[in-house]
Structure 1
Amino acid sequence: MPPKYPLILVDASGYLFRAYHALPKLTNSRGEPTGALLGVLNMLRKLIEEHRPEYLGVVFDAAGKSFRNDLYPAYKAHRPPMPEDLREQIQPLQEVIRAMGLPLLVIPEVEADDVIGTLATQAAAMGIPTLISTGDKDMAQLVDEHVTLVNTMTDTLLDPAGVREKFGVPPERIVDYLSLMGDSADNVPGVPKCGEKTAVKWIAEYGGLEGVIANAGTIKGKIGENLRAALDQLPLSRQLTTIKRDVALEYGPTDLRRTPPDVETLRGWYERFESRRLLATLDGIAQQADTPPAPEPVPPAALPHVDYDLILTPDAFEIWMRRLESAALFAFDTETTGLDYMRADLVGLSFAIEPGQAAYVPVAHAYPGAPDQLDRDRVLARLKPLLEDASRSKVGQNLKFDMSVLARHGIELRGIAHDTMLESYVLDSTATRHNMDALAKKYLDYDTVHFEDIAGKGVKQLSFDQIPLEQAGHYAAEDADITLRLHRAFWPRLEATPSLAHLYRSIEMPLVPILSRIERTGVRIDSGLLARQSQDLGRRIAELETQAYASARHPFNIGSPKQIGAIFFEELGLPVVAKTPKGAPSTSEDVLERLAADGHELPGLILQHRSLSKLKSTYTDKLPQMVNPETGRVHTSYHQAVAATGRLSSSDPNLQNIPIRTEEGRLIRRAFIAEPGYRMLAADYSQIELRIMAHLSGDERLLNAFVTGQDIHRATAAEILGLAPESVTSEQRRSAKAINFGLIYGMSAFGLARQLGIERGAAQEYVDRYFARYPGVRAFMDRIRAQAREDRYVETLFGRRLYLADIGHSNQGRRAGAERTAINAPMQGTAADIIKRAMIALDQWIQSERPPVRMIMQVHDELVFEVAEDAVEIASVRIRSAMESAAELAVPLIVDIGVGENWDEAH
C-alpha cells in the first residue's frame, strides 16, 4: 500500500532546540553532550517507521544571517547566543543523518522554513501529498489539501480544518495573524497588545491584513491607537513572517530519496553516544539499507485529489467568488466559440485556486437539451471588479487572448501576475512548444484532455458551445488547474535565475496588455488597391508560366517538385546541387537560387513564379477577406513565445514576411493606409544589430565608425580595401554590406561567395581582411563560441538565454549551425529586447497622456503608428526619444522616422 504521505520534510533545527530544552541534559562518558541529538534521532526513526515515506528531507538552518536580517537588522537580535553544549551536538547529528542515508539540506541565507516551504510548494504542484514535521506555528501558513503538519513530540496533526480550529483563522490567513501579533522571540514587530483573540477578531471582521489596515481609522480605544501607530511597520512584519516558497534549490521533492545507510559509520557514532537503543536498531542490518526499494515517483499524471466543480447555480457561483476574492493568486481561463479574439463569443470561464481545486462556469452552451446556465452578463458583472482589480493576482496560459476576449465584454483585465506560456518561454525557448498540452506533458508528465478529444476534428468539429457540459466542465476546469500547477513548477525555477526573472517581469509580462491593445486596434487597408494588385500579379504569374513552359520545351505542373526534378536533371541535364534525405535530387528553394545564380533560366523563372504566387495568395487575395466587419480593419495576432531569440512573430496575417526590397512588396505596403485625418508614422532602428555587435565586441574601429556617424558599410569597405571612404564605389559598398550582415549571421566564405557572385577564394580574402581590420569582432566570435560550448547557452544584454542543444554535437554540420546561432542570437535577441522595451515606454506615454497616437504594428526593428495629422511633429520627437533611449550602448541607437498616407510612403 503506498504511503499516505510520500514526502516528509523535517524541521530539524526546530526539533533540536525543542529537544534540548525538553529532554534531560545527557552526556556520554567523555562528557560530550548527547541529549538533544538523541532526541532528534529517535524522533526521526519513529517518523520513518510510522510513515515509510518515499522521499524525505531533513532541513537545518544554515549558520549566519538570512535575508530577513537584510530586511530588518533587528530580526532575532534579542535571542541569546546558542548554548555551547547545544552547538556541539549539531555537527555529530548531521554526520549521523548523512550516514543514515537521509537527504540533509542546509541552504545559506534562508531559514529551514523557507526551504521546506519551497519543497512543499513544488510537491503540491506535482500532486504529491506532503507531511511537514515541525512544532513551529509559522509553518501553518503552508497547510493546504496537499500539505499537513505533524508535531512528532505530541503526535498531533494539523490539516486545514485543524489550523482553523487551533488558531481561529484558515492557513491562508496565518501570515496576517502572525503579522498583527508580532513575535517577541524573533523580534518581529506587530501591533502592541494585539494578542491571538484580537488578531482573530480583526481578520474575521475585515477579511485580512489589508482590510485591517484599510479600516484602522474606525477601530476604537487604545488598541486602535496601537494599530494606527504600527501601520508603517505591518508590511515589514508580513515580509518577515511570510515563508519563502521560491528558494533556488538544486533539487526537487523527488530528488530526496533515501540511500542505503552506512552501518559501520553509524555503529561508530552510536557507540560513541553510548546508546544501546540505537545500536539495537543496527542488528540484522546488512549492507542493504532498511529503506523501501526505490519506488517510482508519484506520477503527476494521476493528478490526485482532483475536485472540479461545474457551477450552475447562483449559490455555487457565490461560494466560488468568495474563494477567489480571498485567494492570494488564482488561475483562470476563458472558453470561446473560436480562436479569433475579435469575433469569438464567450462560452464560459474556469478558475483554480489550489492544485486540484477548480471550477467551470458555463454561460452560453447552446446544444439541444443543454441545462440552464447562469446569465453571462450577470456573471461578468459580478466578476468585473475582481478581474479589473490590479491588486488581485491572476495567472493564465496565453492571457493575451483572454484579455482581448474580455475587452469585448467591457472588462479590462488587470492584475496579470503570471503567464505560464511566457514562464516556459523565458526559462527555455527551445525546450518544447509552449502550448498547455506540450507543457503539461513535459513538465508535469500529464496528458491533458485535448480539444479534439471532446470536439472532434475537421469539418465536423464542434464549437465549444456545442459540447455537453459533462465533458466541457472537466476540460475547462483542467485547463485552469494545469495552469496553476505549471506556474508552481515554473516560478521557483525562474526565481532561481534572477536575470531571467527580471526579464520576465520587466519585459515579457508588461508586453502582454500592449500587444493586446495593438491587436485590437488593427490597421486599415485599401481593399480596392489590393484587388487591382491581385489582377496584375495574376497576369504576371500567367506570363511566367508561359515562359517556363517554353524553357522546359513543354507544359508541366509548375508546383510539382517531382516533375520539376525530372525536367531539371533528366531532360535538361542540370547539375545536382543537393539531395533530399531519401537520396533524390533536391529542388528546394536554396537549390533553385544556386542554379539560377549559375545562369540557368528555368530555375529563375520558377523562383519568380513561386514568389509572386505566394504574395498573391497570402496578401493581395487574402487581406481583403480578413477585414473585420465591425472595425473595418485587419487584426493580426502577435506571438511572444515562438521565435527562439525573443523576436515577436505574427500570423493571420503574417506582417513580418511582406518583402520590403521588391516592388511587389512595396505595393502591398502601399495598401496599409491611415484613417482620414491621420498619417502613418514608421520608426525603424538603423543597423541595430551591427551597433549591438560593436557594443558586444568592443572593437575600436567599429565603435569609432558608429560614434562618429559614418556610413558603416562605406567605412567597412574602406577598411578592408584600403581606400578612402569617398573612393568606395556602390558595388564595393554592397559587398561590404553583405560582409557586415553576413558575418553576424555566421555566414561562411562559401555563403558570401554565393551571395556576391564571386569566387570562394576572393570571398575568403574579404573575410580575412575584415577580421584583420576588426580584430575585436573575431575575438568576440571566438569568445562566444567557447562560452556557448561551456554553458550550452548564450545570453542577450538583458539576460535572455538561448540554449544550444547541438553546440557539442558530433555531427559537424549541426555543431556549426549551433555555433552560427551562438554568434547571432545575442545580437538578434538584444535587438528584440530593445524594441520591446521601447514599446513598453511608448505605451506608458500613450496610456498616461492620451495623445492622438495609436501603436498599430511591430515588424522586425520597426514600429508603426497612426498619428493625427496635427500631432505628427510632437509624436515624432517622443517616439524617437523613447526608442533611442531604450538601451544604453557604447554606440548611439539611431531611429529613422518616415511619415506618409500609407506604410510604403512612411518607410
Structure 2
Amino acid sequence: MGTSSQENSLEGRETLLALDGYSLMFRAYFAMPPMQGPSGPSNALFGFFRMLTSAVQQFHPRYLAVALDHPSATFRDDLFADYKGGRASTPEELRFQLEAVRGLLSSLCIPTVERSGYEADDVIATLARLASTAGVTTEIVTGDRDILQLIADPLVRVHLTRRGVSDLETMDEQAVVDKYGVTAQQYCDFAVLRGDKSDNLPGVRGIGPKTAAELISRFGGIDGILSALSTLPPRQRAALEEAANELPLYRQLAELDRNVPLDIALAELDPPTAIDVAGAEKLFVNSFGLRTVFASLRTIFGDSSAKTPESPGQADGSTGMTGTRRVNSWDELHAIEHRIVSVAAHFEGERGRGAPDRIGFGTPDVDQATNIWITSPSGLAPVRDEIDGISWAGIGLKEIVRSLALNCAMTVTPSELVDLGVLAYVLDASERRSDLAEIANLLGLSWLGTGGDGLFDHEELGIELAAVPALLERMLTRVREEGVERLAIEIEVPLVKVLAKMEVTGVRIDTAVLEEIGATLASEAHATLDGIHAYTDPGFNPNSPKQLGAVLFDQLGLPTGKRTKTGYSTDARVLESLRDQHPLVGLVLKFRELDKLRSTFYEGLRAEVASDGRIHATFNQTVARTGRISSEHPNLQNIPVRSEEGRQFRRVFVAAPGSLLVAADYSQIELRILAHLSQDERLIEALSGTGDVHSLVAASVYGIDPSEVSYEQRSVAKMVAYGLSYGMESYGLATRLGVSNQEAEAILASFFSAYPGLVRYRDSVISQARDRGYTTTLLGRRRYLPELASPNRAIRQGAERQAMNAPTQGLAADIFKMALVALDSELSRTNARLVLQVHDEVVVEAPEPEADSVARTVQEVLANVYPLAVPLVVNVGIGADWAQARA
C-alpha cells in the first residue's frame, strides 16, 4: 500500500484516472448476479458504472479516460497466432453489454480511448507516460495484472479489482515487491517465466511464481538468467534452455507498448462537468433499468441545461409564498367561489401508510393571492361534506384520501383528484415524480422550496399549497400542447379516484386458509429436504449456492456452467438445464420453490392483513413506463399462477359473508391489439373466429390443417405470438424454446411469412419512432426512445425492441385503465365494489343476489370499452373465493 510520504508527495498534483473498460466489464459480469433491464442483460453495466462512480469520487481526477479494446486484431496476434487462444468465448449476455457500454459512456460525455492494432493496456500505458511527462499522477483501475509493470512511485499507481466490484487493492512499488517478490519494472519478466493462462503464455515448465521471483531477484531479469544458465541447478537449466528461444517473443507479448499513436492530448480528457441529464437518463433508466447507478452519476456530473429555469411563483424567482395569507377556517378559505382547491399533507412515516399530522388546503382569490388553511385531520370533521363536493389538486392525493379513511376513520370523496404526478407521468413516463420540485423541473421551472414568511406552523405545506395553482395551470397547458388531453383527463386523472376507492375497500383474507397453506408448504418443504438429504449430508443447505455447487459439480460430477466470484453458478437456469441429469436437482428446485412460496407469499400476505381482516394494497399508476398498474404492500402482481402450489394462494382472497367474488380477465389482449395495429388480414381472421387461436396460428405458420397441429407446434406458436408483442427476436425465442439461434430465426421467418402484415407494422413502428424520438399509442401515450439514434448497435437494437413493444403494451394499459374507470361508474349504481386489479384481471365483490347481473355488467364493460378490429374476449367467473371465480 502507498506510504504516508508518498501520499504527501502527491498533494497538489493533478490526477489522470484511467479505467480498463472491458477488463472491468468482465469482472463485473462474473461478480454480479444476473440482472435484466428493458433492453437486455445489465449486470456488467451495473457493476462497471458502480466502479467508475466510486473511482471518480475517490480520486477527483482532473483528467478521465476509459480505455477500450479496439475490435480489430492487435500486433500481438500477428506475432503469435495463439495469443489469448485459451480464453473461453465471451457469453452472449456479456457481448451485448460490451457493445452497449460505448453508447452509455458517450451519453455521459466520458472520454473513451482506443486504437486499432493495440489493446486497452497499451492505451493506458501510453496515457500514463503522457501524464508522467506532464507531472500528472495516474491512478489506474483494472482487473488485469499486466498493468503492474507501469507502476512508478510517486506518479503511477494501480488499483486491482479484488472481490466483487467494490473492493480494490491499491498497488504501489512496495506493494508489488511485498506480494510478488519482484519490482514493478521486473513484473513483465516475472509474468513471462510464471506464465499467464489468460493470454495463453505457457511460461517455463516447472518454474512457478516463487522460483520465478527468486531467479529474477538474483539475476535481474530474463536476460540475466539466460546468461547465467550454467550456474543453475540441472532441472531449472534444462527447462530454461528448452524455452530460451521463445522467451523473447513471450516478453514482447507481455510488455506493454507505451508509445501508441493516440492522436489525443491530455487536455482533451476532461471529465464531464455537465451532461444532458434527460438524454442520458432515458438511456440508463429506460433501456437498462440502471436507476440507482444513474442517480450516482448524475450527482457527480450534474446537469448540462444552460437554461435558467423560471420560477413557478413570481417572475422574481420567489418561492410563491409572496401574496399568501393564512386563514383560520374553511369558511374563510371559501369566502370566494372556486372550483378546485390545492391540497397537501405532512406524514411522519411512509406517505399514505399512516395518519398525517397536518393537512392543508389553499385557494387563490381574485387578486391571485393564495388563502391557506392548515389543520389537523380531526379539524376536517365539521366540513367533510364540503370537502367531498369539490375537486382537489396536488401531488400524492390518493395517499391522502387513503390515510384519512384507513388511519383517521374519515372517508372523503372529492369530486376529482387532479394529481400533478399523474399529469407528469402522462407527459413523460420515464421517471416517477413524487414531489412538486420534480414537477417544476419537468416544466422547466425553478423550485425554491425553502424559506417563507413565518405564517404557517408547517412551512413546507404553505409553500406547496401556494405553488400548486401555477404548476397545475402550466401542466394542463403542456398536456393540451402535446395532444394527450384525452389520455390525461378522461383516463388517468379519473383513475386516481378509482384506485383510491379500491385501496380503501381492500380485499378480504381468509386467515385460516392462509395458515393452512403455510403449514402445508412447511410440511412439503420439510419432506423435500428429507429427500435431498437422502443424497447428501444432513447438514447440507440447498439454499446455499456454495454448498449446492460443491455437491452437484464436485461430488456428483454434473456438467458445470458459469462460475461466479464465490464458485459455481446454481441459479434457476443452470438447475433447469441439469434437471434430467440427477434426481437431486429436481428436489432442489422443488424445495426452493416451496421455500420461496412460504417466505414471500405466505409471510408477505400474512404481514399485510389489517385489523379489519382485509389487505389494503397500494396500487401505483405512475411506475411502469408501459402505462401498466403495479402494486405494493403486497405486490399482488406477483401472486403465482404457474404451479399448483402457487395457485392455491388465490383461495386466500375471499368474499365477505353474503357476497361473492366476480373475476374477469382479458384473453390474449396483446395479440388482439397487435392484430388491430398491424391490420394483418390472416391474424384478424384467426382472432375473429371461435376456434383455438394458437392452433389456428400454428396451422398458418406450419402450413397444415388446424386438426393436425401438435401440442409442441401450438406451444411454439403461442410463444412466438406473445413474444412478438414484447418485441422478442430470435435470441429471446431461442432461449425460451431451448433451441439454437438458427432454429429460432427459421421459426420467426415462417411466422412472418404467414403474417406479413406484422413485418410491415414492425418496420413502420420502428421507422416512425426513429423519426419522432418516441412511440405513441392510439390514445396518445408516449414512450420516448432517444436510444434509437444511438450509433451503438446493441443499444439501438434494444430500443427497437422497446419501440415494437410500447404501442402494444401501452394500448393494453390504456384499455384496461379505461375499463376500470368505466366499470367503477357502472358499479356505482349497484352494491358491488372493485377490490383487486392484477395484470389484465379485475376482481369485484358483489352481494350474492347481484352477482350474476354484476358479472354480465363487468363482461360487457370490459368487452366494449374500446373498439378493435377483432373482439375483446373477456373470461368471467363467480365464486366464494378468487380460485373458484377463476376455475
CA distance in 1, matches of 2:457, 2:557: 60
Report the CA distance shift for 1:810/1:881 in structure 2 as closer, same or farther (over 3 A).
same
Match of 1:361 in 2: 374
* Residue 624 (structure 1) aligned to one of 580, 603, 606: 606
Corresponding residue to 1:401 among 399, 402, 413: 399
Cα deviation digits, residues 766-785 of structure 1 (max 9, x gap): 21111111111111111111
Structure 1 counterpart of 2:382: 381
Partner SS for 1:683: strand
Alpha-carbon contact 1:304-1:356 (below 8 Å) kept? no
2:788 aligned counterpart, secondary structure: coil
Most deviating of 687-696 and 571-580 = 571-580
Q: Which residue in 2 is equivalent to 1:867?
A: 846
Q: CA offsets, 1:770-803, max 9 Å, x none?
A: 1111111111111111122222211222111111
Q: Is the 8 A contact 1:330 1:395 kept in 2?
A: yes
Shift of 1:478: 3.0
> Residue 641 of structure 2 contacts residue 647 of structure 2 at CA under 8 Å; is this kept in 1?
yes
Distance 2:468 2:557 in 1: 58
Would the alpha carbon gap of residues 722 and 652 (structure 1) be closer, same or farther in structure 2, given more than 3 Å must change?
same
Q: Is the 8 A contact 1:794 1:803 kept in 2?
A: yes
Q: Does 1:521 align with 2:500?
A: no
Change (3 A) 1:721 1:491: same
Q: Does 2:591 correspond to 1:612?
A: no
Which residue of the partner structure matches residue 238 of structure 2? none
Give the alignment partner of residue 525 of structure 2, picking from 529, 534, 541. 541
**1:558 Cα deviation (Å)?**
4.8
Say if 1:804 and 1:818, in contact at 8 Å, map to a contact too: yes
Query: What is the identity, as a one-letter code, of the residue corresponding to 2:382?
Result: A
Per the alignment, residue 321 of structure 1 pairs with 333
The answer to whether residue 806 in structure 2 is matched with residue 825 in structure 1 is yes
* CA-CA distance at 1:860 after TM superposition: 1.0
Counterpart of 1:74 in structure 2 is: none
Aligned 8 A contact 1:384 1:411 in 2: no
For the pair 1:480 / 2:477, whether they are aligned, the reply is no
Which has the higher mean CA deviation after the structures are superposed, 595-604 or 681-690? 595-604
Residues 603-612 or 328-337, more deviating: 603-612
SS at match of 1:747: coil
Shift of 1:804: 1.9
Q: Which residue of 2 aligns with 1:349?
A: 360
CA distance in 2, matches of 1:860, 1:897: 15
Aligned to 1:764: 745
Conservation of the 8 A alpha-carbon contact between 2:773 and 2:785? yes
Contact 2:725–2:805 under 8 Å retained in 1: yes
The CA distance in 1 between the partners of 2:478 and 2:768, in whole Å, is: 22
The alpha-carbon deviation at position 895 of structure 1 amounts to 0.8
Separation in 1 of the partners of 2:745 and 2:659? 50
Offset at residue 623 of structure 1 (A): 2.2
Matching of residues 488-499 of structure 1 within 5 Å: 488-498=473-483
Residue type of the alignment partner of 2:498: I
> What's the offset of the Cα at 1:536?
1.8
Aligned CA distance change for structure 1 residues 722 and 349 (closer, same or farther; 3 Å): same
Task: Name which of structure 1's ranges 698-707 and 819-828 shifts more when overlaid on structure 2.
Answer: 819-828
1:527 Cα deviation after fit: 0.6
Tell me the secondary structure at the aligned position of residue 332 of structure 1.
strand
How far 1:705 sits from its partner (Å)? 0.8
**Kept after mapping to 2: 8 A contact 1:434/1:641:** no
Amino acid at match of 2:328: A
Shift of 1:893: 1.0
For 2:799, give the aligned amino acid: A
Alignment correspondent of 2:881: 902
3-state DSSP class of the match of 1:650? Answer: strand
Q: Which of 857, 865, 885 is 1:886 aligned to?
A: 865
1:754 equivalent in alignment to 2:754: no
Counterpart secondary structure, 1:307? coil
Instruction: Show the counterpart of 1:427.
Output: 427
Structure 1 residue 704, shift from structure 2 partner:
0.6
Following superposition of structure 1 onto structure 2, how do residues 131-210 of structure 1 map, counting pairs within 5 Å?
Answer: none
2:622 is aligned to: 641
- Say whether residues 1:658 and 2:639 are aligned partners: yes
SS in structure 2 of the partner of residue 806 of structure 1: helix
Deviations 1:54-96 (A, max 9, x none): xxxxxxxxxxxxxxxxxxxxxxxxxxxxxxxxxxxxxxxxxxx
Q: 1:717 to 1:597 in 2, by over 3 A?
A: farther
> By how many angstroms is 1:436 displaced?
4.3
Give distance in 2, aligned partners of 1:436 and 1:902.
41
Checking the alignment, whether the CA contact within 8 Å between 2:342 and 2:465 is kept in structure 1 is yes
In structure 1, what is the equivalent of residue 492 of structure 2? 508
Distance in 2, matches of 1:668 and 1:702, equals: 36
Which amino acid in structure 1 is aligned with residue 428 of structure 2?
D
The structure-2 alpha-carbon separation of the partners of 1:558 and 1:880, relative to structure 1 and needing over 3 Å to count, comes to same
Say if 1:577 and 1:483 are closer, same or farther in 2 by CA, change over 3 A. Answer: farther
Higher relative contact order (CA 8 A, sep 6+): 2
- Which position in structure 2 is the counterpart of 1:255? none
CA distance in 2, matches of 1:887, 1:661: 30
Which range is displaced more, 483-492 or 549-558? 549-558
1:256 is matched with which residue?
Answer: none
Partners of 1:476 and 1:405 in 2: CA distance: 17
**For 1:645, what is the secondary structure of its paired residue?**
coil
TM-score (ref. length: structure 1): 0.57
Distance 1:305 1:803, change over 3 A: closer
**TM-superposed deviation, 1:697:** 0.7
Q: Secondary structure at the match of 2:698?
A: helix
The 5 A counterparts of 1:653-732 are 653-732=634-713
1:413 aligns with 2:394: no
Distance in structure 2 (CA, Å) of the matches to 1:766 and 1:306: 61
Identical residues among aligned pairs (%): 34
Task: Assess if the C-alpha contact under 8 Å between 2:319 and 2:447 holds in 1.
Answer: no
1:639-672 CA-to-partner distances (Å, cap 9, x unmatched) read: 1101111111111121111111211221100111
Rounded Cα–Cα distance in structure 2 between residues aligned with 1:574 and 1:487 = 63
Give a deviation string over 1:476-535, Cα, whole Å, max 9, x none: 22333454454344222111022x111000101111211111111111111111112112
Instruction: Give the secondary structure class of the aligned counterpart of 1:493.
Output: helix
Give the Å deviation of 1:413.
Answer: 3.4
8 Å contact from structure 1 (residues 544, 608) kept in 2? yes
- Asked if structure 2 preserves the Cα contact closer than 8 Å seen for 1:360 and 1:476, the reply is no
CA shift digits 1:381-428 (9 cap, x unpaired): 24641x2234xx431102112223445554533243621110110001
How far did residue 569 of structure 1 move? 7.4
Q: Does the 8 Å CA contact 2:312/2:467 hold for their aligned counterparts?
A: no
Give TM-score, length-normalised by structure 2: 0.58
Gap runs ≥5 in structure 1: 1-293, 365-375, 454-468
Deviations 1:316-343 (A, max 9, x none): 34685146x4456432112346547576
For these two proteins, the number of residue pairs brought into alignment is: 573
Alpha-carbon contact 1:597-1:757 (below 8 Å) kept: no
CA distance in 2, matches of 1:572, 1:427: 56
Pick aligned residue for 1:788 from 756, 760, 769 = 769
Which deviations, in whole Å up to 9, do the C-alpha atoms of 1:703-754 show, x marking residues without a partner? 1111122211000111122221112222321222112112222222233233
1:852: Cα distance to partner? 3.2
Taking structure 1 as reference, are residues 634 and 397 closer, same or farther at Cα in structure 2, changes over 3 Å only? same
1:745 to 697, 716, 726: 726
Shift in CA distance, 673/595, structure 1 to aligned 2, threshold 3 Å: same
1:31 maps to: none
Q: Supply the AA of the counterpart residue of 2:649.
A: I
* Alpha-carbon offset, residue 871 of structure 1: 2.0
Structure 2 residue matching 1:331: 3-state secondary structure: strand
- The 2-side partners of 1:358 and 1:587 are apart by 63
**Aligned mate of 2:794, from 808, 813, 822:** 813
Please name the residue that 1:82 is paired with.
Answer: none
CA distance in 1, matches of 2:570, 2:589: 10
